[in-house]
A and B are shown apart, each in its own frame.
Chain A
């Protein structure tokens, strides 16, 4: 329902995070002069059980620090989660009150309905409040699954004073002492206070009964969340309780077809309902897709990306950051870019953005910065463009989601560019990306310091050998693993066109691009570049330069230079003629191949479409060696679309703490491993000498980890 739900956040804990960052994003748009959001509020309806997710409580401080008084949490405290009580022995409302207040929030509790007002008025010695304070939630839950008589005995009966208070109440009157969350007046008072409160976000803790009004089989029962079927008796009792004009026969005729109720469009109640919505500005929820059209950057912004790095070495991270800088300089487009960083800007060379773009802080910069005299000083500003989330990937994805949906939420497209350690992306926050996709978020996700052997020396928990595979599970994510700056330029340009360009169809994409920290020589863009190949996932980078036994080398990202070296060694030492292909996206090639298979499957009478990779490699003879700094499963995705013999070299396993060269030798993915693997396949076909593979293993000391030479030692981490 893309025109109805705006914020589909069903996975517990994601709603609270995203609501906080939505409130931040509203202020960000306002402070940067993109849109006046001063009269907009964010409401998040949450469960008390949901507050046990660390995501639910872990970002509260941001809302307090940024004084997000445009944010209201309403926590439905029904004291129950799926299996049982949230805090049987304790009091979840008191715990949350302390927690939120400690985090700097304004707290409003709505515990009791109006029926209690009179009793509390009479409670001069505090006996009633004393019982209220000391009764655990487990008991409160049980009361509501029992009866008025039970409440009289077990609650009011605790002291003579309280027992006396309800002496002239009937059991029914005791039963009807309601909880605050079911009382219009009490809830209204709380919402009004919340929306008028200045300087802090507000949380409303409203006490309710789960399954309220559904009768004794549902109210307050432990299994109530899972109970979906109503018996004939339940339905009739519920009908009576709600005074619905439906007859017994209508229920009993076909139990599973119990009728809905509508009084007709002219009923005064329906008129009232519609009038209220009209007065408040239309229906909620509603999602609108229309937005300001933006002019995308022209050729100029991509010029530097085509130039290469000359004699200097540069990592693809640097190439990307340089491109981003040029995009942000674009006069019409640049201010819509939202760089999001969880505290690694310096590693990525993005500290160069600090003095000009500045770091967003609604409180400005109220201290003397230690590096104020430096060119790259740390500058915070109310108008800052960079969202610096701190060491906080969960919050960063929430910020990404808010910015990446501003096109719909506010009709103002923003282009979030979230740059982070690739290991802490899909693995750590995969659920949030899934929710982002559901919310139709658009933007760039840049997995830096990618690869299993490229960021060595920080332990196996930093060594990303699988994020593209995890990314492939999200249908909205388009994954690229480019080798060079010019490839990045074309990919980003196409991404902007697809996500934000006028008339583009299917814009609801997120571009995941992996970049590396290893400095390499960045070639300038070749004259006759196969741009379509880059965008679809594979192009011929370096055709074989000699005649001889044929082999095909497929590589992606940081492994492309290894394949080029292997091509040279194969030619020089073994007379083998190998082509080198840069695979910019294994994932997109697979999706295209699967789509072609699906076409063929459902249209057996038509000529089957040939997958793109099969077309590209038509006529590319000889065995294929695919090499990657990721696990083997990533290149293996395209195996079924190629008729050639196919071998994969990849970095399966946890990682290896040593130099890059040693790690690549350890995983047998280095240049010499590619050479030996190609020889082995050619020998089996009788195209090179049968002894060549063994000879090569000896010659290159392939089994000696310390003999590896693939890769250098530079780069930030």
Chain B
């Protein structure tokens, strides 16, 4: 993933930065000019859009292009190795998902009937678990820890984690 420096695009011009090879840049611009001259603006527009789309697909961050293809932003060859033990993590994630669903389910006994949501956490368990196992830093971390805003509707999952941790 390219690391972008500087402020938001709305404060910078489109090209930005310094030109490492002005001669090459000039050739590209000349080609575009020629294309417009020979084939007209409509064709030039199509070529430009295609190039922008290609740039997005190749993870070249291009300002003013607001969407990219409906695929992962991080290309497979740039994915880091997963540092955890996936099998173990999956195993206790399953227990959490079970305990979370059972907790809400139990609360539906007719004489209790206190509500709660099952589906939000069921679908978000991985998003939380990767955070819990690899990213969210607690208050005893030398840096002071992170601040995590959880979705209220996913709270059964947090309680399920508590149930595994404390029992």
Residues of A within 8 A of B (CB): 4, 6-10, 15, 18-19, 22, 26, 35-47, 61, 64-65, 67, 74, 76, 78, 91, 93-94, 97-99, 101-104, 106-112, 117, 120-121, 129, 132-133, 135, 180-193, 195-200, 206, 208-214, 218, 224-225, 227-230, 235, 238-239, 242-244, 256-263, 265, 268-270, 272-274, 276-277, 280-286, 288, 409-410
Contact = CB atoms under 8 A, between A and B. Distances in A.
B68 A97 contact: yes
Interface in B13-59: 57
Interface hub of B76, B125, B150 (most chain A Cβ within 10 A) = B150
8 contacts: A109-B73, A110-B74, A185-B79, A186-B79, A188-B130, A197-B4, A218-B118, A228-B104
B147 A10 contact: no
A91 B117 CA distance: 25
Nearest to B150: A45
Nearest to B92: A269
A83 to B, nearest CB: 14
Given A22-B149, A110-B72, 6 more contacts: A109-B73, A184-B86, A208-B126, A238-B101, A242-B98, A277-B165
A21 to B, nearest CB: 11
A197 to B, nearest CB: 6
B126 A182 contact: yes
A400 to B, nearest CB: 16
Contacts of B124: 45, 76, 78, 181, 208
Contact of A258 (B66, B106, B130): B106
Given A42-B147, A76-B124, A260-B99, A189 B152 contact: no
B95 to A, nearest CB: 5
Interface string B88-110: 11111011011101111111110
Contacts of A129: 57, 69-71
B106 A109 contact: no
A7 B126 CA distance: 21
Size category of the binding interface on chain B:
35 or more
Contacts of B82: 184-185, 188
Nearest to B158: A285
B108 to A, nearest CB: 5
B95 A188 contact: no
Interface hub of B74, B98, B138 (most chain A Cβ within 10 A) = B98
Interface string B144-155: 111111111110
A649 B130 CA distance: 61
B165 A276 contact: no
The 4 A-B residue pairs with the shortest CB-CB distance, nearest first, are A104-B8, A281-B141, A39-B143, A282-B138
A181 B124 CA distance: 7
Contact of B119 (A195, A210, A281): A210
Contacts of A259: 102
Given A211-B118, A238-B101, A74 B127 contact: yes
A117 B72 CA distance: 10
B83 to A, nearest CB: 8
A610 B92 CA distance: 58
B164 interface: yes
Given A38-B143, A39-B143, A228 B85 contact: no
A280 B154 contact: no
Given A214-B118, A229-B108, A91 B72 contact: no
Given A64-B8, A185-B79, A200-B4, A94 B67 contact: yes
Contact of A210 (B86, B91, B120, B145): B120
Nearest to B106: A256
B122 A47 contact: no
Contact of A184 (B71, B130, B142, B167): B130
B6 A214 contact: no
Nearest to A238: B101
Interface hub of B66, B89, B162 (most chain A Cβ within 10 A) = B66
A133 B70 contact: yes
A189 B132 contact: no
Given A19-B149, A37-B144, A186-B79, A274 B8 contact: no
A112 B71 contact: yes
Contacts of A197: 1, 3-4
Given A199-B6, A200-B8, A269-B92, A281 B151 contact: no
Contacts of B144: 35-37, 39-40, 410
B128 A45 contact: yes
A114 B151 CA distance: 26
A443 B140 CA distance: 27
A457 B166 CA distance: 62
Given A199-B4, A268-B88, A227 B141 contact: no
A256 B105 contact: yes
A180 B69 CA distance: 15
